[in-house]
Amino acid sequence: MRGEREYARLVEALGSYEPPCASDGRYIADTLSADDIADMREACAVCPARRECRGAAVAMRAEAGFWAGEQYPTDRPPGRPRKEKPE
């Protein structure tokens, strides 16, 4: 499996902590409201495994879901900032 090592790091980082995404179907939903996205980003911002979650998403080339405060698929490669649009 692509990203197997990074996913194992995520599981290890979580330890006995159960993140909100483990029991919230919105994290795997196809469509989300702006309020849902804002709520989920807030939850991800305080998650102790956020860095490992992003690492797993990047390594696995996540094609769907909400990982480390980011909705996939994205319009850009994971882990890179958005480019500023020329004015």
**Would you place residue 84 in the very low, low, confident or very high pLDDT band (cuts 50, 70, 90)?**
low
Mean of all residue pLDDT scores within the chain: 87
Query: CA 34, CA 30: separation in Å to the nearest integer?
Result: 13
Phi, psi at residue 58, to the nearest 5°?
-65, -45
Query: CA 82, CA 85: separation in Å to the nearest integer?
Result: 9
Q: Which residues touch 76 (CB under 8 Å, ≥6 apart)?
A: 82, 83
The pTM assigned to this predicted structure is 0.77
Enumerate the domain spans of the chain: 4-72
Cα 46 to the chain's mean position, in Å? 13
> Tens of pLDDT along 4-38?
999 999 999 999 999 989 999 999 998 899 999 99
